[in-house]
């Protein structure tokens, strides 16, 4: 039996990672894995089954948009939901993230319920698809 997919929280602030995990605890049953940088996120992506990524844009080693572009270039991760959670509230940053393949874009400071609602919405289709596949095997 495989591992339950987890949620990857990518932010260079340990405090912000803890706040995100606290906000998503009820929504993400598989648990969490953390990354403090873009490169660390890519390493985690390669070895841990993921259901969702919450990604900051401003990080010291690799910009979040570069991480997002990397994710979207690989077929194995093409449908993986990615929520951008950043201090950058300008329209050009939002447009660049959407163009790069962001599933959602939220700004800091964030409302925990808004993040949880967005995650719930993005995770719902994945759970429905799995349930549908399971039901197809019963026919």
pLDDT at residue number 29:
84
Residue 71 lies in a domain: yes
Residue 127 lies in a domain: yes
Tens of pLDDT along 66-110? 999 999 999 889 889 999 999 999 999 999 999 999 999 999 999
CA 17 vs. chain centroid, Å, equals 12
Q: Which domain holds residue 37?
A: 6-136
pTM of the model as a whole = 0.88
3-state secondary structure of 47: helix
Residue 1 lies in a domain: no
Q: Which of 31-35, 37-41, 57-61, 112-116 has the lowest mean pLDDT?
A: 57-61
User: Stretch 24-31: mean pLDDT, rounded?
Assistant: 93
Pick from 22, 41, 26, 131: nearest CA to 82: 41
User: Stretch 43-66: mean pLDDT, rounded?
Assistant: 94
The total domain count for the chain is 1
Residue 26 lies in a domain: yes
pLDDT at residue number 130:
43
What CATH number does residue 110 fall under?
A: 3.40.50.2300
Estimate the crossing angle of helix 38-47 against helix 64-73, to 10 degrees: 30
Residue 64 lies in a domain: yes
**DSSP β-ladder status, 32-35 and 50-55:** unpaired
Residue 30 lies in a domain: yes
Q: Which of 40-44, 76-80, 129-133 has the lowest mean pLDDT?
A: 129-133
């Amino acid at each position: 039996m495989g591992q339950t997919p987890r949620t990857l929280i990518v932010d260079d602030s340990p405090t912000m990672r803890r706040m995100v995990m606290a906000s998503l605890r009820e929504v993400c049953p598989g648990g969490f894995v953390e990354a403090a940088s873009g490169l660390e996120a890519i390493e985690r992506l390669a070895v841990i089954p993921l259901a969702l990524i919450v990604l900051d844009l401003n990080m010291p080693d690799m910009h979040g948009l570069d991480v997002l572009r990397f994710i979207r270039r690989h077929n194995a991760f093409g449908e993986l939901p990615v929520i951008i959670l950043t201090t950058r509230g300008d329209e050009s940053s939002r447009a660049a993230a959407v163009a790069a393949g962001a599933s959602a874009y939220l700004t800091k400071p964030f409302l925990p319920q808004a993040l949880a609602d967005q995650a719930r919405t993005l995770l719902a289709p994945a759970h429905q698809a799995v349930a549908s596949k399971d039901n197809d095997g019963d026919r």
